[in-house]
A and B are shown apart, each in its own frame.
Chain A
Amino acid sequence: MKRIVSLFLMAAMLLAVVGTVSAESKTIVYWSMWEAAEPQGQVIQKAVDAYMAETGNKVDVQFKGRTGIREGLQPALDAGTVIDLFDEDIDRVNGTWGAYLMDLEELAKASDYEATANAGLMAAARTSGGGTLKSIPYQPFIFNYFYNVDIFEEAGIDAVPTTWDEFLDACQKVKDKGYIPVTSDDAYILCTLGYHLARLVGEPQVDKIVKEGLWAEEPAVLTAAQHLADMAEKGFFSPTIGSSVWPTNQNGELALGDAAMYLNGSWLPNEVKAMTGPDFKWGCFSYPALEGGVTGTEAANFGGQVYGINVKSEVAKEAFDIILKVTKGEFDLMLSQESIGIPADANNTEWPAMLAGVRPVFDQTTTRYNWAAGIENNPDMTPFIKQELQKLCAGSITAEDFVANLEAASNK
């Protein structure tokens, strides 16, 4: 009898030990680019809470904000800080922090991730990752012209402009109704020049112009400047476009209904929703094609935030499960609704009403520009380009002055 009891006790002890090991929870450290109070931060926290409740694992989420993660992530990784999962812009994660990224091809395949992912975004992630999948995109965005549908209707614009002449015609109609056709702030005004030049000569040539200082040598610069100077002369730009510090005109002229169009990202409706209210009708169209241009309305800057897993992480599978939790199903939908963003999960077919007009543009975009189509690729020139562009759009310098001033500033 004693022997049976002792065997029974031994078996019970073994079971207890095995049980303890299998139930041992793991800790995943996640540095996020969001602030805890932002809609994105709040939804991510909810997704993480749900993940912890389901798995028993612990997730140490640290909301660092944009500046915090840009300044702090790499020094922390170099110092050996345990960080399993992090997120930021697609180009920064793959470009600046590429050496710290784990290849996610196998993990993505194992979960059949791409069956319900946006193919264009996954392709962009692979391109940014040097041909392999090192990051998982979420919170997709597209950067294009956003407009006030009510103003367009009042001005009698039946179809969105697709060519430069149609665009100028739309501007004239808006102006005739007493509205400001196009507004911008200092933060985004450079995108106008980047897109315009990229339409004319393609993004690689824009990169070359800003890095090699080909302002006078590349005739497209003068052409673009003449187009924008023409707009300024016709009064199509906001009278404060030369001095507006972001977000003055975004929150003022556009959100309050004085201006019709703003070249911005699909995050714009979310950023100004407190000013516009829920009834504001948003439209979106691709930057117009230019005669003889290299790229057309199929091209735009699109991308998203992406998740990366530290190549040294010992809980990569668990980190990937958190990615799945945030970027698929319930929480992807919640993220889309709360932040008025585009869903990453293809099964989440319902987009926020404010972004309904963005969908056709997003779907038709097949060529990806990098940020501002490369016009900000030389940080030693960016402030000069911005300054001269502000003057050009404000009508205080000519197209020829614009070219000459940038040629002079380009350290050649």
Chain B
Amino acid sequence: MRKSRTMIVVFLTPALIFFGTVFLYPIIRTAVMSLFHVENLTSGMSEWTFVGADNYVRLAQTSLFRTSMWNLFRIWAIGGAVVLGLGLMFAMVLNSGLRFKRFYRAVIYLPNIISAVALATMWLQFVYNTRFGLLTNFFKTLGLDGLAATEWTAPGNKFWALLFAYSFGMVGYHMLIFSSGIEKIPAEYYEASAIDGASILGQFRHITWPLLKGVTKTNITMWSISSVGFFVWSQLFSTVTTDVDTISPMVYLYNQVFSAGNAVTERNAGLGAAVGITLGVLVVLVFVAVNTLIRDDEMEF
């Protein structure tokens, strides 16, 4: 078939224009904005004041931003290990010939269809409530008064309370992605290995895991993106004023751009843009690292 350059141009131009205006322009504008002091997000460039790398330097020197990055790292690393680990485990159990598989899968996925606002309220006002909360009553029933008296949302505990509640809601989503990968692996591989005397652990190590590399990569990338955008749960766990334990870089960005606290404070959309660029670079780095460390192009099935 002859290639028509005109047709290529005709078909590609709308997509390129769309990509340029919706993705490229905002990225470039944000990168440029991060080098300026910008009082108002929507003010024209004539009102911007050039500050060079000052916004980035200020971020590096600000304890609160560093704390937010540390929180993000813990959410990504610890939450990621728990959520992806549990997701993989549930996916394997559900695909091992378990009866009522669809029912269990629906139950594990259920938190994903409930609004984050409702879930967070349930955790905060019911599960963690020290007056009549689920955990308090549970430990009282077991006679563990020390644990029953724990203030789950006190400084120091609140991060873990948040991470536990958030992870609870995220396992089902990643379980489904793992499950779709496992379902693609031909059953004959397992049958043959079973005949050869392979244990369940051996089957996982030599069949499931190598053939799930692509799906794992997808899951890590998805988890990284959702972690970087961690915002709603943080806001819900510190309803009016931001917390040290629950602040994420996105919340820091939001506070800087919109002066979102009770008091009316100075805004700096340039600083917010610097946070955005920093997070964007982080996602790219994670993506490159994952692609380098996990190669899934070695096997075809």
Contacts and interface: CB of A to CB of B under 8 A. Distances in A.
Contacts of A91: 263-264
Contacts of A243: 130, 151-155, 157-158
Interface stretch (B111-119, B176-184, B240-248): B240-248
Nearest to A410: B63
- How many residues of A sit at the interface, in one of the four size bands? 35 or more
Given A78-B43, A79-B42, A248 B61 contact: no
Give the residue among A71, A243, A245, A391 with the most B Cβ atoms within 10 A: A245
B218 interface: no
Contacts of A71: 258
Contact of A245 (B42, B61, B62, B124): B124
A376 B262 CA distance: 8
A373 B240 CA distance: 17
B65 to A, nearest CB: 8
B202 interface: no
A328 B168 CA distance: 51
Contacts of A387: 155, 243-245
A96 B266 CA distance: 9
Contacts of B290: none
Contact of B262 (A95, A240, A371, A394): A371
Interface in B122-147: 124-125, 129-131
A242 B154 contact: yes
B109 to A, nearest CB: 28
Nearest to B61: A411
A371 B244 CA distance: 21
Interface stretch (A23-31, A272-280, A377-385): A377-385
Contacts of B243: 186, 383, 386-387
Nearest to A77: B42
B203 to A, nearest CB: 46
A244 interface: yes
Interface in A67-114: 70-71, 74-75, 78-79, 89, 91-92, 95-96
Contacts of A244: 153
B14 to A, nearest CB: 24
Given A74-B42, A75-B42, A371-B262, A190 B154 contact: no
Given A186-B243, A240-B151, A380-B62, A78 B237 contact: no
Contacts of B165: none
Given A245-B153, A248-B129, A96 B260 contact: no
Contacts of B62: 380, 411
B255 interface: yes
Contacts of A371: 262-264
B48 to A, nearest CB: 14
B239 to A, nearest CB: 5
B261 interface: yes
Q: Looking at chain B's contact residues, is the secondary structure mostly helix, strand, loop, or mixed?
A: loop
A382 B239 CA distance: 14
Contacts of A409: 63
Nearest to A76: B42
A386 B157 CA distance: 15
Interface in A344-403: 370-372, 374, 376-384, 386-387, 390-391, 394
B189 to A, nearest CB: 50
Contacts of B244: 383-384, 386-387
A245 B63 contact: no
B261 A382 contact: yes
Contacts of A242: 151, 154-155
B46 to A, nearest CB: 13
B238 A245 contact: yes
A15 interface: no
Given A384-B64, A384-B244, A372 B42 contact: no
B125 A248 contact: yes
Contacts of A79: 42
B241 A382 contact: yes
Given A243-B152, A244-B153, A377 B241 contact: no
A246 interface: yes
Interface string A176-203: 0000000000111010000000000000
Contact of A411 (B40, B63, B152, B255): B63
A390 B125 CA distance: 19
B258 A70 contact: yes
A89 B63 CA distance: 30
Contacts of B239: 186-187, 245-247
Contacts of A248: 124-125, 129, 131
B154 A390 contact: yes
B214 to A, nearest CB: 39
Interface in B227-283: 237-245, 247, 255-256, 258-265, 267
Contacts of B158: 243
A394 B154 CA distance: 9
Contact of A75 (B41, B124, B267): B41
A257 interface: no
Nearest to A95: B264
A387 B244 CA distance: 7
Nearest to A408: B63
A120 interface: no
Contact of B265 (A75, A246, A378, A386): A378
B139 to A, nearest CB: 16
A95 B130 CA distance: 40
Given A92-B264, A245-B124, A190 B153 contact: no
A157 to B, nearest CB: 26
Given A186-B241, A245-B239, A411-B61, A70 B260 contact: yes
A240 B130 contact: yes
A391 B155 CA distance: 7
Given A376-B241, A387-B245, 6 more contacts: A71-B258, A186-B239, A240-B151, A245-B124, A245-B237, A379-B255
Interface of B: 40-43, 61-65, 124-125, 129-131, 151-155, 157-158, 237-245, 247, 255-256, 258-265, 267
7 contacts: A78-B40, A186-B243, A244-B153, A383-B244, A384-B64, A387-B245, A390-B155
Q: Lowest 3 CB-CB distances: which A-B pairs, in order?
A: A187-B240, A243-B151, A243-B154
Interface of A: 70-71, 74-75, 78-79, 89, 91-92, 95-96, 186-188, 190, 240, 242-248, 252, 370-372, 374, 376-384, 386-387, 390-391, 394, 409-411
